[in-house]
Amino acid sequence: MSISRIPFNKEASSKPRGVFDNMNRNVVFLLLLIFLLSGITTDTPEKNVTISFERPEYVLSQTEMPIYELITPEVNASYAQSLAYSLFDIRDTLAEESEGIYFVNLGNRSFEINTKDGSMWYADYSKLWNISLGIEIPTPDACKRDADAWLTEKGILPTAASFASIGSTNATTYNLDADRITSKILQYNINYEFAIDDIPITGEAAQITVMIGEGGAKVGFDWKWREPKSEPYATSTMIEYESILEVHGISPDDVLKHRLVYTTDDDDDNNNLLYPVWEIETLEPPDEEGIEIHTIVMIDATQFKPVVTIVTPSAGISAMPGTSITFDCTVQFGTPPYTYQWGSDFDGVLSTSKSFSIMTLSEVLKKDIHVPHAISVRVRDAEDRGTSDCVAVTIEPVDFNPNPTITIAAISAVTILLASIFVLRRRRVLPILFFLLMMFSAFLFIPISSAGSGIPGTQKLTPSAPTGAYDDGVKEIGIEWVGMSHHKPLWNTETNIEGFYNWMSLIGGYSQEFNWGEYSAWEEDFKDASFSGTDTEWIDAVDFVYYQDHGGSNGVAFTSNHDDKSLHYLHMRLGDGDLDSIVFDACSPLAWENPDGDTVFERWGPSLQGVHQVLSFATGSKNSATRGTKFAQYMTGFGIGYTMTIVNAWFRATLETEPSDHLAAVFYGSKSPNPYYPQLDDPINDHAFGFGDVCSDPTPGSFGNFVYITTSC
C-alpha cells in the first residue's frame, strides 16, 4: 500500500503561525498591562482623619431623688431701706435700684438686697479686708457667740441653718532683706450652712457669713437662703456614682473626696430649682512639668437635666478646607422636646438642627499653626434646662504624598508601555498601546489633581496680636480659657470669662485684644521669652488678663500643647511689659505650699516683674458661671453704687460664688516700707483703670516685701 506524501509548503505554513505568535504576544502584553493597572489606585488622600472611641453609658439606680422649687421673697425699696436700718443702722438714706439690686449706701457702708433671690450683702469698706486692721479682734469663740446672738435677735437665722465653721482673712508678708515672714489675722468669718433631707446645700446656693473685725465690729455680711416649697417640684432617678466616673473618664484613684449635694443653676434668671449633683474633688498625678492638677467638678446626679453627647464625629477630626463635615448628637434624660444650637468658637452659630453638614468652616491659624475649632452643641429641654458637649475640628490643607508601592508600579508600567511601543512600532497593536498609555497617564495623575481640587472658597482666620500693646494711653484686656474641651469639663467657663470680658469692655471701657478659648489657649502665651515663650506678644502686651481652667500649686493646665500642656510658675515673668493685673481662676495656684514644700513666696516671687497683683485661689475652687461678671461689676461699681479696689472686688466675687471652706488669694509686691500700713502708691489700693487710684509699676527693686492675703469664701 502506497502512502502519498503531502509536500510541506513553508510559505503556506509560516503566515498562520506568525499570526498566532503575534496574538500570543499581544495577549501577554495586554494581560501584563491589566495586571499593572489593577494595582494602581485612584484614591485621593484621606480628607478626614478621625480618632473615635466607644463611650460608656450611664447606669441608673433604683433611687428617686426629690427636686425642690424655691420661694423668692418680694423685694422693694421700702423693704430694702427697713432692713438697712434694722440690721446695720443705716438711716435717712433712700434705696436705689439698678440691675435688679436695691442698694442703700452711706459713706463707706453699703447694704444691698437682690430682687431675684432675696440675697443680702453688707460691707463697711473702710474695715472689710483692711490690711491695716486686725490688732484687736475678739477670739474666734467670742465672734461665734456674737454672731449667733445677733442673727437670732434680728430674726435672720433660719431653722434650717446650722453652724459650719470659722474662717478668717490672713495677711502674710515676706521681707526680702531680712528674710523674715510675719502674719496677722484681719477678721473672722462665722459661717452657717444648710441641708435638705440631710443632704448639704452648696455654699453658693445657700450660706450665711458674718464677718467680724477690729473691736468686734460687723464689717461684712453675706446672706443667701430661700425656703423650698414643702412638696417636691418633681422626682428623678439617680445615676450610679461609679458610672458617672466611668462616663467622664475620672479614675477612682484620683478622687480625693466626693459627696452628694443640692445646688441651683448659676443663672440668676433661672435658678429657682434645687437639684442634686455629685461634687467630686480630684488630684491627678504630676505631669511632665511636675504639675498636679487639682479639680472640683459638679456632675448631675439624676436624670433631671438633659445630657448631650456628640456622636458624629465621635472625637477630634482633621479635614481639608471645603470638606463636607457632618455633625450629629444624641440627648438623654431631661424633658423632650429639645432645642439645639451648634457653634464654633471662631465661626459663631452654625446650625439649630439636631444634625447638619457644613463645608465652610474657616481655616484658623495662630502664629502660622492651624488651630482646631471647638465645635459645641448646646441643648435645652422643654423645661429650659441646659447641657452641652464639644469636639475639636481642625481645618488644614493635606499635602499629597504618593504611596511608594504605587509609585514603583507606575514607573514600571510606563517603562513597559514605552518599550512595547518601540518594539511593536510597526504592528497593528500600536494604536492600542498609545491608547493605554494615555489612559494610564490619566490614572497616574488623578490622585495629584484630586488632592487639590473640589475645594470651595473658605475663610482663613489669622488673629493678630494686641493692637494697643504697650500704649499707656489705651487700656487693654485679654482672656484665655479652657472649658468643655478638658477631659474634666468646666461647663460654665465660657459664660463666666466672656461675661468678665464683655463687661470690662462695655462698662469698663477696656479694649478687647484677644479671646483665646479651648484649643487656641496656649501655654506659651504666658511664658517668658527666656523659656521660649511669647508672653510679650500676648498676656504681657495688655493691662488685664483673666485665665480660667484647672490648676494646681505648681501651675495651670491647657488642652493644647503649645509648647506644653501645662504652665509652670517657674516660666513666668509677669509685668515686664504692659501687664498690671492677672487672674488665674483655677484650683490652688496660690496654695501656701506645693508638694515639695516650696512656699508661695518662693514659687511666685520671681514672677513679679512689674505686675501689680496676681489673683487666684489657695484651695480648690468651683466652676462658677457668674464670678467673672460679678468681679467686673464690683470693680466698675455699676449696679452697686460703690467702686471697689481690684483686691476687694475679687474677694467679694469669690465669697459669693464659693463655699466657706475655700480660700481666695492675692499675691503682690508692696512698695510700702511697712506693708501692713500701705501708702497710697501700693498695689493693695489699685482700682481698675478709670475707676480710682492705680499705683506705679512695682518693678523689682521698688518693693521690699511680698504680700500674700487669703480669705475664706
Q: Which domains occur in the chain, in start order?
A: 13-42+401-451 (no CATH), 305-395 (2.60.40.10), 469-712 (3.40.50)
Given a cut of 60, whether residue 41 has pLDDT beyond it is no
Q: Residue 487: what pLDDT?
A: 82
Structural Rg of the chain based on CA atoms: 35
Average pLDDT for 513-522: 95
Q: Residue 30: what pLDDT?
A: 47
Given a cut of 50, whether residue 661 has pLDDT beyond it is yes
Given a cut of 90, whether residue 423 has pLDDT beyond it is no
Q: Residue 287: what pLDDT?
A: 85
Given a cut of 80, whether residue 47 has pLDDT beyond it is no
Q: Minimal CA–CA distance to 342: which of 328, 357, 352, 329? A: 352
278, with CB counted inside 10 A (0-12, 13-18, 19+), is buried
Q: Give the range among 76-85, 408-417, 670-679 with minimum mean pLDDT.
A: 408-417
Q: Residue 424: what pLDDT?
A: 54
Q: Residue 405: what pLDDT?
A: 58
- Would you place residue 422 in the very low, low, confident or very high pLDDT band (cuts 50, 70, 90)? low
Q: Residue 17: what pLDDT?
A: 44
CA torsion sign, 200 to 206 to 212 to 213?
positive
Strand partners, 161: 194
Average pLDDT for 288-296: 88
3-state SS record for 166-223:
EEEEEEEEEECCCCEEEEEEEEEEEEEEEEECCEEECCCCCEEEEEECHHHCEEEEEE
Average pLDDT for 437-462: 51
Given a cut of 60, whether residue 181 has pLDDT beyond it is yes
Query: How far apart are alpha carbons 208 and 221 in whole angstroms?
Result: 8
- Three-state secondary-structure class, residue 638: coil
Instruction: Name the residue with higher pLDDT: 451 or 701.
Output: 701
- Three-state secondary-structure class, residue 451: helix
Q: Residue 42: what pLDDT?
A: 42
Average pLDDT for 430-440: 52
Q: Residue 43: what pLDDT?
A: 43
Q: 596 Cβ partners below 8 Å, 6+ apart?
A: none
The model's pTM is 0.85
**DSSP E strands: which ranges in 22-154?**
48-50, 60-69, 96-98, 101-106, 109-114, 120-124
pLDDT tens per residue across span 587-615: 999 999 999 999 999 999 999 999 999 99
Q: 3 Cβ partners below 8 Å, 6+ apart?
A: none
Q: Residue 48: what pLDDT?
A: 45
Average pLDDT for 279-303: 91
pLDDT tens per residue across span 525-581: 999 999 999 999 999 999 999 999 999 999 999 999 988 999 999 999 999 999 999
pLDDT tens per residue across span 337-364: 999 999 999 999 999 999 999 999 999 9
Query: How far apart are alpha carbons 507 and 514 in whole angstroms?
Result: 18
